[in-house]
Chains A and B, each alone.
Chain A
Amino acid sequence: MASVKKDPILQVESTCGSLLYELQIIWDEVGETETDRDKMLLELERECLEVYRRKVDQANRCRAQLRQAIADAQAQLAAISSALGERPVHIRPSDQSVGSLKQELGTILPELEEMQKRQTERRSQFMVVLEEIDSITNDIKGQGEHVQSKPLIDETDLSVRKLEELHCHLQALQKEKSDRVETIRKHLCTLYSHCSVLGMDFNEVVSQVNSTLTDPEGPRSLSDHTIKNLDAAVQKLREVKIQRMQKLQDLARTMLELWNLMDTPIEEQQEYQHITCNIAASEHEITAPNSLSEDFIKYVEAEVARLDEVKASKMKELVLKKRSELEDICRKTHMLPVSDSAIDQTIEAIESGKVDATLVLEHLEQHISKIKEEALSRKDILEKVEKWLSACDEESWLEEYNRDDNRYNAGRGAHLTLKRAEKARNLVNKLPGMVEALASKTIVWEQEKGIEFLYDGIRLLSMLEEYNLLRQEREEEHRRQRDHKKLQGQLITEQEALYGSKPSPSKPLGGKKVPRMSTGGAATNRRLSLGAGMHQTPKPNKKADQRQIEGALSTGRRGLNVAGLPSRKQSMNPCEQLQSPLVRKPFSPISATVVASKANIATPQQLLPTPKSNAVNEISAFATPVKNNNSIRNLEEEKMKMMMMQTPKNVAAMIPIPSTPATISVPMQTAATPLNNTNARLLPEKAEVVEYSFEERRLAFMLQSESLIHV
């Protein structure tokens, strides 16, 4: 069958037969032996078999390879489809092989290719997503320079589910990123507003947190670290802001208080209205730029300090006022004021800032109220004392009046004097009762209060006692005088009897002639006029003495007996008295000592006619040469400081007699300026010619020189 089918094989077989035949012919011809021939033929057959076997082996190997390839492809296909998570289009179980192996391979290969294509597609999708994820993660983690490395793809799992998962992840990341961007933006906004409120440089603050944030265009760092830092910065600024706001509000409160205290006008307040309107504002309400900057706070602080100073000075004024009020009350109620030195000390303490003025003020007020209370309780007695004192005045007046022998002369106003005398007599009659009543009242008061009733520092009871003693003495005197008169009368009658003439009425012995109209003078010195013999009550200390002098100068109501000094002279600058040895009358010759002391510099007669210097108009202290003499200048400054603490009345006590400066170095004494030299020369002749001022002279000079230039 094979020979029929395969012609070439038949040909090969015929060729083999013919070749065998040819071989037999050749053998025959050669005469080969039968064995040799058999041997040859066997060899031939064996070679043929070998060739066959080799071919079969080859074919077998080829089949095995084919099978292997198919298996490989199938395995690959399975792996890919499992990775992709989907079944291949048509896959058969491997044992269910249809057709030959080559057919099988032929069907499986395209499938594999298809799957591989899908795989690469999927992988690229993954790649895109993963890259994005990576970049976002990098952003979030904040590795500034993120490495552009290929993301690792898990080749075994490229399923759609995984892709979706990655997509979800990516979306989450994107959301987080946008969240972070938003957070940062918000933080930056807050930061910006804080900075503007606090007057700080926004860029500087931000660049301290992260340099990428300052660049509005470029990428910004989104890392946790940045956000944390940013948050911290915001917190810090907020704290600073709150702190400053509290400080400012404190200042504003202080300012309002000070305004209220001092009744500051509204215009002045207006300037700081924008500060005080924030007094109750909470932190987020303050948004005006620079409203909390350091400069601004300093500015407000300066204002508060200024107000404080003003307040302090006002307080001091108040304290001084209160003190004068206290003194006033004391003076009115004839009480001894609180020891001055204590108050002076407190005032000094206020000035040096050791003691709060308010405390002193309170203390003073308490004191005033106490004194007022006391004054109220004393009022009743004081009225009586006034009455008594005025009665005493009248009494002493009456006494003097009685001594005046011309009292009945009919002059002008004599009837008034008579009337007054009548009244005074009535009053004097009532005096003992008055004293009695006053004494009992005072005793009751003293018992009630447990303290002595002092009138200008002297116990009232002792005053009354003294008065009573005096009165008794005076009555004695009267009696004696009456006796004397009687005796004289007798003498006269005797003389009359002898000579028949009457001597003129004798003058009272040692009686000082008192002008009748000077009766008012008695009132100026009430206590001293209680009786001629009454001596000045010794004062407890020098201070009181001085006060008395002041009193005499200011009111003239009490104090020293000033009979020797005309009252007008009292009102003039008291330093005049202190300096009296140095005062030189105008036109009197200059004594050597006076020239040396230069206490009163005479106007040089050769330069100017000496103006008649009225001593009252001179402020001698002003003329004291103090220039270039530091010690004296310091003294003056000291004096000035003291001046401010004490009442101006004390000036008299404070102006020292100018000490003679040992050396007066006056640089300009010899080198007087030309202006003054010309003045000095021009002045004497000025009286006759038209008066010109310096400016007129200078202008005239200028015009003259100008015209000279033009000529």
Chain B
Amino acid sequence: MATFGATTNTNPNKSFEVTPSPADSISSLSFSPRADILVATSWDNQVRCWEISRSGNSLASAPKASISHDQPVLCSAWKDDGTAVFSGGCDKQAKMWPLLSGGQPVTVAMHDAPIVDMAWIPGMNLLVTGSWDKTLRYWDTRQQTPVHTQQLPDKCYALSVKHPLMVVGTADRNLIVFNLQNPQTEFKRIVSPLKYQTRCVTAFPDQQGFLVGSIEGRVGVHHLDDSQQNKNFTFKCHRDGNEIYSVNALNFHPVQGTFATAGSDGAFNFWDKDSKQRLKAMSRCSQPIPAVRLTMMGRYMHMRRAMTGAKVQRITTRQLLKAASSCTCHRKARSRRSQE
């Protein structure tokens, strides 16, 4: 913190900080779909794993294991059965790390340029990786060669899978929608509703559309069906007066359909797209938040913050007690208990 002076506050929301912190900025977070295991990739070439446990209202984290790449790691994804985690980055390859069995990581995917985003497709048992070499590649983890290589119009920047919907954001504001039942052909190609570079995309949990965030502090809500085009809109966020910050990450709540955005202004907010409301704005941290992850049961939110050039990183875990409708449930449970 010394670099920023005493006035900056890295944790204004009193979130829980996962320790030990990586030595450089964090690039992605993923939470195991089966257990409270958090995996973070970072620019110091490391992939780390913590176990998050909760007792009452307090959280605890225990560092479990880590592996390293030759170059900075940019993305991670869990296998849907929670047995393995994939990570990929600037070394142009993706590794599969069988965490549960404690095995050694093996390279499962290769690209001609760094891999920026990846996702596991549970319905097909395939890993999809997007790269700056302007291709998407589908990988069966047991084979050396990709099952299919999909040419993209430009460098891939972000992708999101909600089987059978896959949305890929590329440079030059292209958004390509795939129907994974027929991955060889593009289902739709549209120009982003936002005027600036696409930073992140995420598909709706109901597969009816997707969110796209840009570097200009704006998020677009886009529906796929032409009949629902009137429901499309964009909104501004992560702005402070004249300062405009990038929207770095979007993530849907797995249960409630609300979502969180994280921006370079160091804030993360909760939104409800259906009622066009901001549900909650969290206090700003001193560093940008590159990603946000709402995770299973909505119990925790994990977010990463990083700062290029400076060696200050934190992962904080926040317990979502007041998000959307869960807050009423909690309140009710508490009052009942007190009556008893």
Q: List residues of A whose CB falls within 8 A of some B CB.
A: 305, 308-309, 312-313, 316, 351-353, 571, 573, 598, 601, 603-604, 607-608, 611, 616-619, 621-623, 625-628, 633, 636-637, 639-641, 643-644, 648, 651, 664, 666-669, 671-676, 679-680, 683, 686, 691, 693-696, 698-699, 702
Which residue of the partner chain A has the closest CB to B326?
A: A313
Contact stretch, chosen from B47-55, B143-151, B176-184, B233-241: B233-241
Whole-angstrom distance between the Cβ of B4 and the nearest chain A Cβ: 8
Contacts of A691 in B (CB 8 A): 154-155, 171-172, 197
Cross-chain contact B339 with A668 (CB below 8 angstroms):
no
Whole-angstrom distance between the Cβ of A126 and the nearest chain B Cβ: 71
Q: Which of B74, B196, B322, B328 contacts A695 (CB 8 A)?
A: B74
Cross-chain contact A623 with B264 (CB below 8 angstroms):
no
Interface residue? B14 (CB, 8 A): no
Cross-chain contact B114 with A353 (CB below 8 angstroms):
no
Whole-angstrom distance between the Cβ of B76 and the nearest chain A Cβ: 14
Whole-angstrom distance between the Cβ of B221 and the nearest chain A Cβ: 10
Cross-chain contact B7 with A667 (CB below 8 angstroms):
yes
Q: Which of A308, A312, A622, A696 contacts B235 (CB 8 A)?
A: A622
Q: Given the interface contacts A351-B328, A619-B235, A622-B276, does A669 sit within 8 Å of B243 by beta carbon? A: yes
Cross-chain contact A617 with B233 (CB below 8 angstroms):
yes
Interface residues of B in 182-218 (CB under 8 A from A): 195-197, 199, 215-216, 218
Whole-angstrom distance between the Cβ of A358 and the nearest chain B Cβ: 15
Contacts of B325 in A (CB 8 A): 313, 644
Cross-chain contact A623 with B114 (CB below 8 angstroms):
no
Cross-chain contact A693 with B157 (CB below 8 angstroms):
yes
Interface residues of B in 70-120 (CB under 8 A from A): 72, 74, 90, 114, 116
Interface residue? B266 (CB, 8 A): yes
Interface residue? B259 (CB, 8 A): no
Interface residues of B in 270-329 (CB under 8 A from A): 271, 274-281, 283-284, 286-288, 307-309, 322, 325, 328-329
Some 8 contacts from A to B, beta carbons below 8 A apart, are A618-B236, A636-B281, A648-B274, A675-B264, A676-B243, A679-B246, A683-B215, A686-B197
Cross-chain contact B244 with A619 (CB below 8 angstroms):
no
Cross-chain contact B243 with A702 (CB below 8 angstroms):
no
Whole-angstrom distance between the Cβ of B246 and the nearest chain A Cβ: 7
Which residue of the partner chain A has the closest CB to B219?
A: A622
Cross-chain contact A667 with B243 (CB below 8 angstroms):
no
Cross-chain contact B281 with A627 (CB below 8 angstroms):
yes
Cross-chain contact B240 with A305 (CB below 8 angstroms):
no
Whole-angstrom distance between the Cβ of A274 and the nearest chain B Cβ: 21
Contacts of A668 in B (CB 8 A): 240, 243, 265-266, 284, 286
Cross-chain contact B277 with A639 (CB below 8 angstroms):
yes
Q: Given the interface contacts A623-B236, A626-B281, A627-B240, does A608 sit within 8 Å of B216 by beta carbon? A: yes
Whole-angstrom distance between the Cβ of A622 and the nearest chain B Cβ: 5
Whole-angstrom distance between the Cβ of A606 and the nearest chain B Cβ: 8
Contacts of A636 in B (CB 8 A): 278, 280-281
Cross-chain contact B281 with A695 (CB below 8 angstroms):
no
Q: Which of A603, A696, A698 contacts B308 (CB 8 A)?
A: A698
Q: Which of B195, B283, B328, B333 contacts A611 (CB 8 A)?
A: B195
Cross-chain contact B277 with A353 (CB below 8 angstroms):
no
Cross-chain contact A637 with B280 (CB below 8 angstroms):
yes
Interface residue? B61 (CB, 8 A): no
Q: How far is the CA of A311 from the CA of B315 in the complex (A)?
A: 35
Q: How far is the CA of A221 from the CA of B152 in the complex (A)?
A: 85
Q: How far is the CA of A611 from the CA of B215 in the complex (A)?
A: 13
Q: Which of A611, A643, A669 contacts B275 (CB 8 A)?
A: A643
Contacts of A679 in B (CB 8 A): 215, 246, 264
Interface residue? B58 (CB, 8 A): no
Which residue of the partner chain B has the closest CB to A629?
A: B281
Q: How far is the CA of A640 from the CA of B233 in the complex (A)?
A: 20
Contacts of B172 in A (CB 8 A): 691
